[in-house]
Copies of this chain bind each other. A is one copy, B any other.
Amino acid sequence: MSLKHAALGLLATTGPASGYDLLQIFDGSLANVWPATQSQLYTELGKLADAGLVEVVSEGARGRKEYALTDAGLAEVRHWVAEVPPAAVRRNDMLLRVFFFGLLEPGQAERFLREREAASAGYHDELSAIAERIAPETAPRAVYGRLALEWGLRYTRMQQEWADWAAEQLKELPPAAPSDAGPEPESGA
């Protein structure tokens, strides 16, 4: 549902571009919020052209097709950004695993959380590095990307702190006598 709008939005902000061009941008800045594969992008551009939201404005070397937004496409993406409420629930397979900690051996859950803590810290550092790289330029085009980046910094820090907190919580738990809700459903249960 949103690759459509991601493609329209990119065309709107960067001007006419080929599928290949858009793909570079996806793999660059946008990959963290909306990854897309080559296959998917080309298919989507075809559909958008059929729908009249984009049009081929020039054909270059090697069969290169340059797409540009139509007025309808611009209206569509503006509407989507400003007026369509963002999706509320997001799937989270990390948290899904947390729900099933009861199935693990003692220590495994804590190890899991410590790994998450470290991974979040590492990801936070990566984002910090990016932030420093773009900050000096104060690139005017990057303002909005910087808002997203700040979200990432806060998110990764939050997750790091949460993982630490959660790991500490587990320490304080009684060793979970396997009587009540133990991880023993086995076949005979």
Which residues of the other chain, B, contact A119 by a CB distance below 8 angstroms? Answer: 85, 88
A20 at the interface (CB under 8 A from B): no
| Total A residues in contact with B, Cβ cutoff 8 Å | 80
Which residues of A19-39 are within 8 A (CB) of B? 29-35
Q: Are A99 and B145 in contact (CB under 8 A)?
A: yes
Q: How many identical subunits does the complex contain? A: 2
Which residues of the other chain, B, contact A186 by a CB distance below 8 angstroms? Answer: 71, 74
A98 at the interface (CB under 8 A from B): yes
Q: Are A154 and B158 in contact (CB under 8 A)?
A: yes
Task: Name the residue in A9, A90, A108, A145 with the highest tally of chain B Cβ atoms < 10 Å from its Cβ.
Answer: A90
Q: Which residues of A contact B (CB under 8 A)?
A: 1-2, 5-6, 9, 11-13, 15-16, 29-35, 68-71, 74, 77-78, 80-82, 85-104, 108, 111-112, 115-116, 119, 123, 140-141, 143-145, 147-148, 150-151, 154-155, 158-159, 161-162, 165-166, 169, 173, 180-181, 183, 185-187, 189
Q: A152: nearest residue on chain B (CB-CB)?
A: B95
Q: How far is the CA of A88 from the CA of B124 in the complex (A)?
A: 12
15 further A-B contacts with Cβ under 8 Å, apart from A81-B103, A155-B155, are A12-B183, A33-B92, A34-B92, A34-B93, A35-B89, A74-B103, A80-B97, A81-B97, A81-B100, A85-B115, A86-B93, A87-B93, A150-B162, A154-B161, A158-B158
